Amino acid sequence: MKRIFLTAAGLFALVQLFGQQKDTTGFQARKLKLDEINLVSSYYHQNGNNAAVTGGIGSQKLSDIANVFDVKLVGYDKKARKHSLDAELGIDHYTSASSDKIDLKSNSSASHADTRFYPSLTWTVENEQKGHSIAIGLSSSTEFDYQSFGGNISYSRKTKNRNGEFTGKLQAYLDQVKQVLPTELRPGGPDEEHYPGKNRNTIAGSFSWSQIINQRLQIAILGDLVQQNGFLSLPFYRVYFNDGSVHQEKLPDSRFKIPIGFRANYFLGDNFILRSYYRYYTDNWGIRSHTAELEVPVKLNAFLSVSPFYRYYTQTAVKYFAPYGQHTDQQAYYTSNYDLSKFNSSFFGAGIRWLPPQGILGWQHFNMIELRYGHYKKSIDLQSNIISLNLRFK
């Protein structure tokens, strides 16, 4: 937790510099100017007893510290079109008891911890008079055994009365997975450190329609079509057969997913909002899932609000799942990853947000702080806690 708050404190000098340079000439300014900075830091910890690295048994203890730094710039061109540039950098560092068991004899192998970097950049051009916009984005994610490059393009258009908006988005991710096998399954022996890569590609098309029904009710319909191809297993996940032999997880090289969602926000007077969400998901591996979520922001005064929330999730298992020691050599595909098993889960907690009009600690540029806590529990003996801090400078 110390790292979270040290990172936050280190931004004060940086934002003060940005604040001094900010263009205050108003709408006529043509150049991009600083609009907003967000820092989101979180600490996550979990424990369980179904680690896929050891065939569906063993410790799932894991801790993760994440920091995301987001900068938004806004400007207008000669045609009065609004240009927005959103640059984001994320850094996660985790320690994992199960990953440490890639080598069953090790208590502190190199794989017990890793750091992930994930920058992204999005450029949006919006014609506010005509009510439409287009955006393009690039992203990357890098860790020891995984490299991903992504790109996306989206288009949004509002209705004439501005009460409805359609958005379509196309995304592509080109990934490479290093073949870090369990030590006893490496062709060159347990000390082999040559890890060839295999490709995994994802193409996703998504749409959303949002509509203001009246002064109190807003709704949105969301849908996606996702196609994945390539190496979709994880190379260091073990599977133990009923004859005692150990194998590397093996899953099909193609997967098609369809999630469909619905949101509804209802304003109960000036101090209460009901935010509801439902999603149905299906894929050709056999998973069918339902997600239902309710969040109720409550305004305590003009500057302070709390937001309790609850989410319930349930899913069926993929066709290729079986627990430790229950697979046979007659099966073409097999996994003992309990994330692909049948389970249900609950996630609940609350957030508190403070937006004083004169800024936090009297600093007007530091205008919002939000703290959130959530507890997550699965029916398959896994539970976790997460606490996050969001600082906004504007």
CATH number at residue 170: 2.40.160
pLDDT of 6 strictly over 60: no
Q: What is the pLDDT of residue 260?
A: 98
pLDDT of 40 strictly over 50: yes
Find the mean pLDDT for residues 248-266: 98
Q: Is 175 within 8 Å of 147 (Cβ atoms)?
A: yes
Q: What is the pLDDT of residue 5?
A: 37
Please tell me which residue, 104 or 133, carries the higher pLDDT value.
Answer: 133
Residue 19 host element (H or E): helix 2-21
The token duo for 230 is 């390539």
Domain span including residue 286: 2-393
Q: Is 8 within 8 Å of 391 (Cβ atoms)?
A: yes
Find the mean pLDDT for residues 118-132: 96
Q: What is the pLDDT of residue 30?
A: 65
Helix, strand, coil shares of the chain, percent, nearest 5, are 10, 60, 30
Find the mean pLDDT for residues 175-179: 96
Residue 377 host element (H or E): strand 366-378
Find the mean pLDDT for residues 178-187: 92
Residue 199: pLDDT band (50, 70, 90) is very high
pLDDT in tens, 10-21: 444 334 434 444
Q: What is the pLDDT of residue 133?
A: 98
Residue 227: pLDDT band (50, 70, 90) is very high
Q: What is the pLDDT of residue 101?
A: 85
Largest CA distance in the chain: 75
Residue with tokens 């193409």: 203
Looking at the 3D structure of the chain, how many domains does it have? Answer: 1
Q: Of 117, 137, 133, 116, nearest to 125 (Cα)? A: 133
Q: What is the pLDDT of residue 384?
A: 98
CA distance 109 to 114: 11
